[in-house]
Amino acid sequence: MSATAASSVFDDALRNLDRAFDYADIHAEAIERLKHPKLAIEVSIPVRMDSGELRLFTGYRVRHDDTRGPGKGGIRFHPGVTLDEVKALAFWMTCKCAVMNLPYGGAKGGVIVNPKELSHMELERLSRGFIQRIADFIGPDTDVPAPDVYTNSMIMGWMTDEYSKIRRQFTPAVITGKPIPLGGSEGREDATGRGAYYCLKEMESERDWTPGGITVAIQGFGNAGQAVARLLAADGYRIVAVSDSSGGIYRASGLNIPALIHAKEAGSHLAAIAADPTIGGDAIDNASLLALDADILIPAALENVLTADNAAQVRARHVVEVANGPVTSDADAILRQRGIQVLPDILANAGGVTVSYFEWVQNKSGWYWSRDQVHQRLQERMAAEYRSISTLAARHDIDLRTAAYAQALGRIGRALTAQGTREYFIGGKG
């Protein structure tokens, strides 16, 4: 991401507040508070490399709001991380937790690094070093991190262990997305993609779709993209294109998703798999995938992939945001004007934080659930919140994004105004 693009991410994210304000039960003072993150820190992390060289990495943690509960949000390792980006991601987490009615606020963290350039030992030192720097800033009742881009359950395990060493007590609830033997939850690994799938099943029911007649293109074939592809393909949806950072594959008759996932897990990139006559297809780049004539487009990689420059080229009827912030506000306006329905990220990809909440609850209670129980509870919550937002959108004749933010702002606003507003404080004695 360029510095120019990154500098506008937070301001762009805040534009959703203004659109939703007229439909939300929220005081103007509460809106103003949401425009300013509560806390933000920048740290330097010294790491002794395998070569003996000392390198310093920059990391960030932002707690946007904790009115409704501890901050909640992932940690990403990526060379394009900026403070402004982390602020935007923390803001989205505040709204996402409110959409799902979770007792959390929003937070996010990141380290400027390309983890693919590190050895496993260097990655562990960096992960533990970051926690050493932010240990006073996080905690089970303060701010609870989780995995994000280029971090995973093993990294979360290292981070939890480091925090526990610092506190001199086993503290599994400090971080979610951990390995199951270290206090992780069943069903966490595919929760983001599964949550999007449950939303799509609600859309299917509303619109009386026949899955075999619906085509899907997925930009981003990491954990979340693979999960939603696997679940949709199993139901008969025709996944015609997928891509990763190396490029992608297109096949009009539909791709063999289980075989592609197996090849990816074996270490292959999609650009290389495309040439395989048994499971490949036509090579396609990410820009072309976004413009494919498919019924559903699922951006599942990074933010800002649909902008004012390419939104007019989108031919899908529905865009489902499995990534955080993949559609800029300018692009959103273009899609809305063209009648393309966008299922917003603060609902579509909220399965991850919802199962993170389940993990946190299990850690605190010491009572662990089966995979089927996790799936059932996730499905019930995703379906209920989707139906609530869809009803709100229909009632006010607004798009799903505006309805989702209106629902979030209503819940956040009630918590913020419970502490008093101008009208209370000028109203006389208590």
Residues 249 and 331 in one domain: yes
Average pLDDT over residues 301-328: 94
Residues 163 and 213 in one domain: no
Question: Looking at residue 1, what is its pLDDT?
Answer: 41
Residues 209 and 343 in one domain: yes
Q: Is residue 98 part of a domain?
A: yes
Question: Looking at residue 429, what is its pLDDT?
Answer: 58
CATH number, position 133: 3.40.50.10860
Average pLDDT over residues 356-377: 97
Percent of the chain exceeding pLDDT 70 equals 97
Q: Is residue 10 part of a domain?
A: no
Q: Is 108 a catalytic residue?
A: yes
| Domain span at 343 | 191-348
Question: Looking at residue 327, what is its pLDDT?
Answer: 95
Residues 260 and 319 in one domain: yes
Residues 163 and 209 in one domain: no
**Is the model's pLDDT at 413 over the cut of 50?**
yes
- Domain boundary (318, 348, 378) is at 348
pLDDT band at 5 (very low <50, low <70, confident <90, very high): very low
Residues 237 and 339 in one domain: yes
Q: Is residue 152 part of a domain?
A: yes
Residues 116 and 265 in one domain: no
Question: For the ranges 70-74, 260-264, 420-424, which has the lowest average pLDDT?
Answer: 420-424
pLDDT in tens, 369-409: 999 999 999 999 999 999 999 999 999 999 999 999 999 99
Question: Looking at residue 3, what is its pLDDT?
Answer: 38
pLDDT in tens, 217-245: 999 999 999 999 999 999 999 999 999 98
**Is the model's pLDDT at 6 over the cut of 80?**
no
Question: For the ranges 81-90, 122-131, 413-422, which has the lowest average pLDDT?
Answer: 413-422
- Domain boundary (128, 163, 182) is at 182
Q: How many domains does the chain have?
A: 2
Question: How far is Cα 410 from Cα 402, in angstroms, rounded to an integer?
Answer: 12
Question: Looking at residue 386, what is its pLDDT?
Answer: 97
State whether residue 282 is helix, strand or coil.
Answer: strand
Structural element, H or E, at residue 217 = strand 215-219
**Is the model's pLDDT at 279 over the cut of 80?**
yes
Six token digits for residue 242: 């997928």
**Is the model's pLDDT at 301 over the cut of 50?**
yes
Q: Is residue 20 part of a domain?
A: no
Residues 172 and 308 in one domain: no
Cα angle, residue 239 at apex, residues 269 and 402 outer, rounded to 5°: 105
pLDDT in tens, 92-102: 999 999 999 99
Average pLDDT over residues 238-255: 93
Q: Is residue 105 part of a domain?
A: yes
Six token digits for residue 424: 């209370």
Q: Is residue 369 part of a domain?
A: no
Q: Is residue 312 part of a domain?
A: yes
Six token digits for residue 24: 């939300």
Residues 65 and 155 in one domain: yes
CB 85 within 8 A of CB 40: no
Place of tokens 């449950």: 198
Question: Looking at residue 376, what is its pLDDT?
Answer: 98
Residues 195 and 111 in one domain: no
Residues 176 and 203 in one domain: no
Q: pTM for this structure?
A: 0.91
- Domain boundary (182, 203, 219) is at 182
pLDDT band at 428 (very low <50, low <70, confident <90, very high): low
Strands of the sheet containing 215-219, edge to edge, are 282-284, 247-250, 238-244, 215-219, 296-299, 318-320, 341-343
Residues 137 and 52 in one domain: yes
Percent of the chain exceeding pLDDT 90 equals 80
Mean of the per-residue pLDDT values for the chain? 93
Question: How far is Cα 175 from Cα 216, in angstroms, rounded to an integer?
Answer: 34
Question: For the ranges 15-24, 46-55, 352-361, which has the lowest average pLDDT?
Answer: 15-24
Task: Check 96, 108, 178, 201 and give the catalytic one.
Answer: 108
Q: Is residue 285 part of a domain?
A: yes
Beta strands (DSSP E) in 341-409 are 341-343
Average pLDDT over residues 45-61: 98
CATH number, position 246: 3.40.50.720
Question: Looking at residue 400, what is its pLDDT?
Answer: 96
pLDDT band at 4 (very low <50, low <70, confident <90, very high): very low
